Chains A and B, each alone.
Chain A
Amino acid sequence: MPINPNMKTIVIDDMMTMRKIITKMLKQIGFTNIQEADDGATAWPMIQQAQESGEPFEFIVSDWNMPKMSGLDLLIKIRATEGIKDTPFLMVTAEAEQSNVVKVVQAGVSNFVVKPFKPDTLKEKIAKIFP
């Protein structure tokens, strides 16, 4: 599935800084339809509402370490919900221990990128999700 510039995308991170960086990088890659959320707990109702409206998010980019609902918990919820369980999910994390990688892979992540990263790295990770 190649990248569609109008793909409905949500960027989730509790830090405004990282949301701005990722959104800017996605725009450089060509994404045009991007929304933002400041926690997994904020994003989850947005994702449900989008599904109910018939215009679900087609790509989720989420931080792992967030105060109310972690990226891992959000991923598990999404993978357990009919209708959205196959949504491509890119995890952004500062924690790259092997045990963490295993956790997100087992939870069904599409790919993950470790902070700090350059725009080219993000682009490569996305290209592997949408070859």
Chain B
Amino acid sequence: MNKDLHTIEEVQFPHGAKDMTEFNKRYLDFCKPFILAVKEVYETMMGTEITPGKPGLKESKKSYGDYSSIMGINGTYQGAGAKKKFRGSLVLSWPEEVYIKGASAMLMEDYTEFNDEIADVGMEICNITMGNAKKVLSEEGYLIEMSIPTSVSGKNHEIKAQDGIVTIATPMECGFGTFYIELSYEDYDC
């Protein structure tokens, strides 16, 4: 296992659901490719290494950052004798300074404030992260239908996950500061 991801195993899921062991495993399997993909995007296109911090369950609607990019996730899973549908979302959320520094590195320009030229940087990062994770997950039995990203901005903006879905948030420390990746996932029998 990649040493950077060992902490994701520490996530404690809520008790009470049926067959949590298998669900936890599928959830964690599902999250890892996204963490690796966003690391790859930052290292390749912005020249900075990312160290994932300790993930945890997110229970508040309040975003971690000032700018968030979101992609819905829908698809089917077939593997280990099970066939399921799944749904969820990928959210990347940046504090303003971290967003602007990342956009400057990616576009090879020196931006000092948020403007229209860098407004879709977050969505592009989200899109590439999803595309790369989708490839890895397809090899593990998860077939994701690709969607188009959207964004939300503003201090203390809120993002509400679909009812009943568990969200794991992981801090991502890089040369520009810390941003967050949030993954919501739920699966159910076809």
A contact residues vs B (CB 8 Å cutoff): 14-18, 20-21, 24, 65, 67, 93-97, 115-118
Contact = CB atoms under 8 A, between A and B. Distances in A.
Interface string B147-180: 0100000000000000000000000000000000
A116 B127 contact: no
Interface string B26-45: 00000000000000110011
Majority SS of interface residues in chain B?
helix
Given A116-B44, A116-B45, A18 B124 contact: yes
Interface string B103-121: 1001110000000111111
B44 A94 contact: no
A15 B135 contact: no
B138 interface: yes
Contact of A96 (B108, B118, B119, B135): B135
B128 A116 contact: yes
A98 B92 CA distance: 27
A70 to B, nearest CB: 10
B117 A95 contact: no
Contacts of A116: 40-41, 44-45, 128, 132
Interface residues of B, number: 26
A94 B128 contact: yes
Contacts of A96: 131-132, 135
Contacts of B132: 94, 96, 115-116
Most buried by A among B121, B128, B148: B128
Given A14-B148, A97-B135, 12 more contacts: A15-B120, A16-B116, A16-B119, A17-B124, A20-B107, A67-B148, A94-B131, A94-B132, A95-B134, A95-B135, A96-B131, A117-B45
Contacts of A95: 131, 134-135, 146
Contacts of B41: 115-116
Given A95-B146, A116-B40, A16 B120 contact: yes
B8 interface: no
